[in-house]
A = this chain, B = another copy of it.
Amino acid sequence: MSDVKKVVLAYSGGLDTSVIVKWLQETYNCEVVTFTADIGQGEEVEPARTKAQALGVKEIYIEDLREEFVRDYVYPMFRANTIYEGEYLLGTSIARPLIAKRLIEIANETGADAISHGATGKGNDQVRFELGGYALKPGVKVIAPWREWDLTSREKLMAYCEEHNIPVDFANKKKKSPYSMDANLLHISYEGGILEDPWAEAEDDMWRWSVSPEAAPDTPTYVELTYEKGDIVAIDGEPLKAHEVLEKLNKMGGDNGIGRLDIVENRYVGMKSRGCYETPGGTIMLRAHRAIESLTLDREEAHLKDQLMPKYAEVIYNGYWWSPERRMLQAAIDETQKNVSGVVRMKLYKGNAIVVGRKSDESLFDESIATFEDDAGAYDQKDAEGFIKLNALRLRIAAGKGRKQS
């Protein structure tokens, strides 16, 4: 363990990662660089500076990555209408590649030879951090304290704090919750506690970002989202940066009880786990993106996107953002978004994000052809006969040869 000289730690400023700072210094006898990022988790990041200093850290990185996070990670992912296992919007998964990238960049800047994080050995996040790290700096040493140390209970952790003079008020007060939580601009997640019983309904006071549908206003909110090349660039006509869009939609969605989700999911490490998620803005964005695509995408590219999406979601969920297969899929997805521009009108009401209108200069909807009224020859109904007969030909031949069709 003597071969690590300097390690960059993903540091939240909370109790656990503060313990890790100390444990790394002691166990590896190395210098610790802390990296704390604002990715929209809704807590001040600046206080992490004093705490890190108190722990003897000399190189402290505190950064506002909200715009980069939404623009370069969330937005590209939403271009694919990405959902994991039919339900999950990948709120945690999509934040990890950015953290991994900054950990490595900071390691390169500071001459560190290792990185470290506070994720446990049972979850997906360790995988995401470490795959990213290895992909971007193949020789990096990764230290995952939760897989190594023996501080395996809250009591042992507290004893360690006392022994090492780590102020216990480093513990995040807001997190005095029975749940394991994670938050960023895209979502907040809850695991553990009574959620470990999949039959138990989540308690209403668990949720933090949204009111319940019951508590939401009795009148709907309408909103217009303007898309350019697959990304939202304005809300109700007001141009906004990527993270401002998501902040605003989170507010609107949360106020209207939108975006709560309660699922059992399959982790990459092989177990099922139960999680609850609040993704107010993302829930609106998913629906809206499909709506603008419904006007502007060709049918076959839309269907091909749908067939590739589960794989793309799996790649991100499993932690392979920094991989050739993700870039390959992204190239295909981005190729389709050139004309995904226009406006979607939505109605938000008590948990519902309803598309009520969509329009686009790039629309492929052809009213003159689709109409139930006289189409003035735009479409020749007689063409359908040949279309059907040749599409049926293989079936007719098979049936004619006595093949059973049912």
Contact = CB atoms under 8 A, between A and B. Distances in A.
A364 B328 contact: no
A352 B349 CA distance: 10
Contacts of A33: none
A385 B191 CA distance: 23
B130 A388 contact: yes
B138 A396 contact: yes
A101 B349 CA distance: 43
A79 to B, nearest CB: 12
Interface residues of A, number: 131
Given A136-B399, A358-B198, A387-B387, A394 B310 contact: no
A325 B345 contact: no
Given A126-B388, A303-B314, A382-B386, A271 B369 contact: yes
Contacts of A142: 388
A197 interface: yes
Interface in A352-394: 352, 354-359, 362-367, 369-372, 374, 379-394
A90 interface: no
Nearest to A313: B306
Nearest to A306: B310
Contacts of A400: 138-139, 366
A1 interface: no
A294 B383 contact: no
Q: Number of copies of this chain in the oligomer?
A: 4
A81 B291 CA distance: 20
Contacts of A385: 121, 144, 147, 383, 386
Contact of A147 (B350, B382, B392): B382
Contact of A386 (B301, B322, B386, B392): B386
Contact of A399 (B127, B137, B271, B291): B137
B298 A323 contact: yes
Most buried by B among A121, A197, A271: A271
B298 A398 contact: yes
Given A264-B358, A303-B314, A365-B272, A327 B323 contact: no
Given A131-B395, A266-B394, A357-B198, A121 B382 contact: yes
B135 A295 contact: no
Contact of A331 (B146, B332, B370): B332
- By CB atoms of chain B within 10 A, which of A135, A299, A304 has the most? A299
Q: Which of A152, A322, A352, A394 has the most CB of B within 10 A?
A: A394
A329 interface: yes
A271 B397 contact: yes
Nearest to A263: B294
A328 B304 contact: yes
A163 interface: no
Contact of A271 (B152, B192, B272, B379): B379
B354 A352 contact: no
Contacts of A221: none
Contacts of A381: 120-122, 146-147
A371 B86 CA distance: 24
Interface in A255-314: 260, 262-266, 269-274, 290-291, 294-295, 297-307, 310-311, 314
17 contacts: A86-B290, A121-B383, A121-B384, A122-B370, A131-B391, A201-B357, A266-B299, A266-B394, A269-B390, A269-B393, A298-B325, A298-B398, A301-B324, A303-B314, A307-B307, A328-B332, A379-B393
